Amino acid sequence: MKKEDLKKYLMLETPVVVYNLDDLSERLCTLNNILPDWINVIYSVKANSNKKILDLFSKNKLIKGFEVSSYQELHKIEKFSEKKSL
């Protein structure tokens, strides 16, 4: 993320959450390289249901599926989970 972009977000007069998808992707890659193949990582949609994060996780081979605990979470993840377990 560029510093200028971060400064712009920090100037807002409201709480803000800033995600660095490149960093998140790198961390997933690192986990994928160090975890044994027999471990299946399931992402809990309750942890964060941001569409960009769900999209990133749905395309990552480390994430084998999604855990949902409500109809709303299921509805959010359906479009991202064609090849993943729910």
Lowest mean pLDDT among 9-13, 39-43, 71-75, 79-83: 79-83
Q: What is the predicted pLDDT for the residue at 2?
A: 76
- Is the Cβ–Cβ distance between 31 and 62 less than 8 Å? yes
The 10s digit of each residue's pLDDT in 10-61 is: 888 888 888 889 999 999 999 999 999 899 999 999 999 999 999 999 999 8
pTM above 0.85, yes or no: no
pLDDT of residue 22: 92
In degrees and rounded to multiples of 5, residue 7 shows phi and psi of -60, -40
The answer to whether 33 and 62 have CB atoms below 8 angstroms apart is no
